[in-house]
Structure 1
Amino acid sequence: MQKILTPLMGPLSRVLRQWSKPVGLLATVGMLGLAPVQATSQSLFAPAIRVNQEVITRFELEQRELFLQILRFPGNPAEVARKGLIEDRLRQQVMKEAGLDIPPEDVQQGIDQFASQGNLSPEEFIQALGQAGVSEETVRDFITVQLAWRDYVSARFLSRARPTEAEIDRALGRGGGGGIQVLLSEVIIPVTPQTVDQVDEVAQQIASLKTYDDFSAAATQFSASDTRNNGGRMNWLSVSSLPPALQPIILGLNPGEITDPIALPNAVALFQMRGIQEIATGAPRYSSIEYATYFLSGGRTPETLATAGQIARYVDSCDDLYGVAKGQPESVLDRVTAKPSEIPQDIALELAKLDPGETSSALTRNNGQTLVFLMLCNRTADLAQDASREEVANALTQQRLQSFAESLLAQLKADAIIEE
């Protein structure tokens, strides 16, 4: 069986996904205008919540809430901080019984990963948080719990989480069972530093919708994708054509269900399952995909979108874009050939909808100031069809480990005595 790469789970993995939004830590601290926390010594360690025999202090709640604000974590910071600390205490109690410890070097590696996602050195990361009032100990405690929980869940459930060869084949759209196609609706909401909070709130509301009509209405109102004109409804797609990281998320949906918000570069995506079917033959897979991106300044302004529409009517192939870009800086046009797993997720998602020669103007870069005119040039068939096998196995394993972890945590919470 392939090596299983289990990422940081729970709050840490969700926080790391937030770093893909176009707001760096230093910029966020400045935007929030946060001042260091000034708590009196009398109230610093006053108990706020008791979880079984463990205490959560008011200082811990203040620190976690501030930490979440700085990271632009979705939801109400006070409520998320309270819930997260209660769950951390339950995790710590279970791991203490198991005698599980995390080496300091692993904690430092987690801090390094956090910092790199914000394009900061570990020292800059800790310093920026400290300037906003979040102590280094708060960060280390947070990461330590998530790392230890990851290891605990992996040790306890990994043998049950590994997919069979047949399940991997099914996810890849191969084997005697044929391929899997899905019928999805999508909402792709652009994000800029000025709209992060509003987009988070809207995305959470969309994720809680219950009907196809409500999701369709949300797509018409909020989505930047061309499918908004059809209520967000996409055509049948092979699961294997979707970005590898998205495949297990989609396969985990039942008809009518909606994904949690998924952070993309300069956007947030949500998908609703409308249908799923198995076809007689497996869908083709590709060793490489060639595509072109032509960058237009102005973002999603009516004028820039109109220009993109004119270009779409003019070009029939990626070669035609060289004529469009003639006389402009080389940086405005980029033609790429890459493995599917190497393509940015938002671009891969748009390419999955296109045939060679078709275009999309749903994406942006540069914090929404640059419109991406995307064109699919060609797909090269993967004759061996083994390139993504380990990646799909890892994704399926991670999804199942996350499910086991959530079920265990729910049981621990149900059995706990929690007092405010």
Structure 2
Amino acid sequence: MTRPLPLLATTLALTLAALAPAPAPAQSANPFAPVILVNDLGITGYEIDQRMKFMTLLRQPGDLRKEAEKGLIEDRLRIGEAKRMGITLNKEGLAQGMAEFASRANLSTEQFLAELAKGGVEAQTFRDFVEAGMLWREVVKQKYAQKVRVSDADIDRALLLETQARGQGTRVLISEIIVPAPPGREAEAMAAAKRASAASGDGSFGALAREISAAPSAERGGRLDWMDLDNLPPQLRPVILGLKPGQASAPLAIPNAVAVFMLRGIDDKGNVKNTPQQLDYARFIAGPAGAPETSALIATLKAGADRCDDLYGLAKGLPAERLLRESGAQGALPADLSLALGAMDIGESTVLQRGANAELVMLCARSALPAEGTEAAKPDRNQVAQNLTNQALNAYADADLADLMAQAVITRK
């Protein structure tokens, strides 16, 4: 499922203003000849080049060619499954999907296509990208919508923040397992995460964390310290509140990994505000994950930086794009960043693998977002039920795509 990127319009504008040519695909006598076959569905060098340019405009990190190939392979699997099920899109539906995506950048479809064209991205590339996502959404809906049942008890648990007298500053005690999911091993990661999701009790969950988790907490059996509920990403709060102590969540897909959480305890005393947060953070792109020089740089950064401003001195002499200072609403951040920052105090840092690179991420500041209007809207049970349904469908979608990837016959020419 494609999520909207924060500040997409600004990102496009800034990127286009100083856009360097995207890396060229592998040379081929005919750029329109297939260079990858996915269950006999071809991917051409031209398509890879176009996807790389599209990703460049969206400022996506990592090895662009590798990520472009991965995205196109997944799209072929989505399209192939839709074809197998007889699912198609009409022109009106596709046009609506393109308009919805463009609107995330506060642009019309025509304006969005014009901005893409400045970076050498063809309209067909954008059309194919949107179509694959829309077809996949319909596939998941037809295959799994009837399997998802949200009970009144589920809704009551999700509404616990607003419907029960519970204390401001409510804290939760959770454990985590983060299973790496590098390209080509998504099915293996999902299978491991499902084992963690089935774990019962802190003992068995902790043993699995030590065995399979890539998070720094693994050596502690995945245990995290008490944290304020408001510090958790908004999308994770109802998941945690829907658990009983000793119960693990369903697998949650995040970039390059699958996460599972277990609730160990909750400390509540009255009404919780459930305040949305603005996070100010820094990302230092250290280099290719696992490389010795990357590990050495990360060690230097951790030893020499106690706050975000310290990173600027350590970045002296490096290209400006290696150190990024960013800010955004917690609920709008990518899932891996939102989860990592949620557990941090100001000045704390952690290392994430994002794409092919390792990044040191540090929390610079945390503040409450200004309230919109005088009173927050009361939760609607129907909307809560829809949110819970979407969470379940997303989990099915991630697992299904991992299964399709594991069964696919992929050849390169």
Do these two structures clear the TM 0.5 threshold for a shared fold by scoring above it?
A: yes
5+ residue gaps, structure 2, are 6-33, 42-72, 103-123, 394-413
Q: Counterparts of 1:343 and 1:19 in 2: how far apart (Å)? A: 9
Q: Which amino acid aligns with 1:356?
A: I
The residue number in structure 1 matching 2:39 is 34
One of 177, 189, 209 as aligned partner of 2:199: 209
Given the alignment of the two structures, is residue 177 of structure 1 paired with residue 166 of structure 2, yes or no?
A: yes
Query: Kindly tell me: are residues 125 and 224 of structure 1, through their superposed partners in 2, closer, same or farther at Cα, counting changes over 3 Å?
Result: same
Q: State the shift of 1:352 in Å.
A: 1.3
Query: Kindly tell me: are residues 183 and 324 of structure 1, through their superposed partners in 2, closer, same or farther at Cα, counting changes over 3 Å?
Result: same
Q: Which amino acid aligns with 1:143?
A: E
Q: State the shift of 1:337 in Å.
A: 2.0
| Partner SS state of residue 233, structure 1 | coil
What TM-score comes out, normalization by structure 1 length?
0.58
The residue number in structure 2 matching 1:397 is 385
Given the alignment of the two structures, is residue 338 of structure 1 paired with residue 328 of structure 2, yes or no?
A: yes
The residue number in structure 2 matching 1:408 is none
Contact 1:184 1:235 in 2 (8 A): yes
Q: State the shift of 1:333 in Å.
A: 0.8
One of 263, 288, 291 as aligned partner of 2:281: 291
Q: Which has the larger radius of gyration?
A: 1
| Partner SS state of residue 228, structure 1 | helix
Moved more, 139-148 or 222-231: 139-148
One of 371, 381, 385 as aligned partner of 2:368: 381
The residue number in structure 2 matching 1:244 is 234
5+ residue gaps, structure 1, are 1-15, 21-28, 37-66, 89-101, 130-138, 406-420
Q: State the shift of 1:250 in Å.
A: 1.4
One of 260, 263, 288 as aligned partner of 1:273: 263
Q: Counterparts of 1:265 and 1:373 in 2: how far apart (Å)? A: 15
Query: Kindly tell me: are residues 388 and 315 of structure 1, through their superposed partners in 2, closer, same or farther at Cα, counting changes over 3 Å?
Result: farther
The residue number in structure 1 matching 2:141 is 146
Q: Counterparts of 2:97 and 2:153 in 1: how far apart (Å)? A: 27
Contact 1:161 1:401 in 2 (8 A): no
Q: Counterparts of 2:101 and 2:366 in 1: how far apart (Å)? A: 36
Contact 1:359 1:373 in 2 (8 A): yes
What TM-score comes out, normalization by structure 2 length?
0.59
Q: State the shift of 1:306 in Å.
A: 4.5
Q: Which amino acid aligns with 2:237?
A: Q
Contact 1:292 1:376 in 2 (8 A): yes
Q: Counterparts of 1:69 and 1:296 in 2: how far apart (Å)? A: 30
Q: State the shift of 1:292 in Å.
A: 0.7
Q: Which amino acid aligns with 1:398?
A: Q
Q: Counterparts of 2:154 and 2:246 in 1: how far apart (Å)? A: 27
Q: Counterparts of 1:238 and 1:392 in 2: how far apart (Å)? A: 21
The residue number in structure 1 matching 2:208 is 218
What is the 5 A alignment of 1:18-417?
33-35=38-40, 71=77, 107-108=93-94, 121-123=126-128, 143=138, 146=141, 170-171=160-161, 176-179=165-168, 180-280=170-270, 282=272, 285=275, 287-301=277-291, 304-361=294-351, 363-366=352-355, 369-382=356-369, 384=371, 396-399=384-387
Contact 1:181 1:279 in 2 (8 A): no
Query: Kindly tell me: are residues 351 and 125 of structure 1, through their superposed partners in 2, closer, same or farther at Cα, counting changes over 3 Å?
Result: closer
Q: Which amino acid aligns with 1:146?
A: K
Q: State the shift of 1:149 in Å.
A: 9.3
Q: Deviations for 1:275-323, whole angstroms, at most 9, x for unmatched residues?
A: 2231356478354221111011121456534432331121111110100
Q: Which amino acid aligns with 1:273?
A: L
Percent identity over the alignment is 27
Q: State the shift of 1:334 in Å.
A: 0.8
Aligned length: 312
Contact 2:78 2:135 in 1 (8 A): no
Q: State the shift of 1:329 in Å.
A: 0.9
Contact 1:243 1:340 in 2 (8 A): yes
Contact 1:107 1:147 in 2 (8 A): no
Q: Counterparts of 1:395 and 1:313 in 2: how far apart (Å)? A: 46
Q: State the shift of 1:397 in Å.
A: 3.2
Query: Kindly tell me: are residues 389 and 265 of structure 1, through their superposed partners in 2, closer, same or farther at Cα, counting changes over 3 Å?
Result: farther
Q: State the shift of 1:267 in Å.
A: 1.7
Q: Deviations for 1:351-384, whole angstroms, at most 9, x for unmatched residues?
A: 11111111111x1222xx2111011111123464
Q: Counterparts of 1:265 and 1:167 in 2: how far apart (Å)? A: 25
Query: Kindly tell me: are residues 141 and 188 of structure 1, through their superposed partners in 2, closer, same or farther at Cα, counting changes over 3 Å?
Result: closer
Q: Counterparts of 2:38 and 2:139 in 1: how far apart (Å)? A: 28
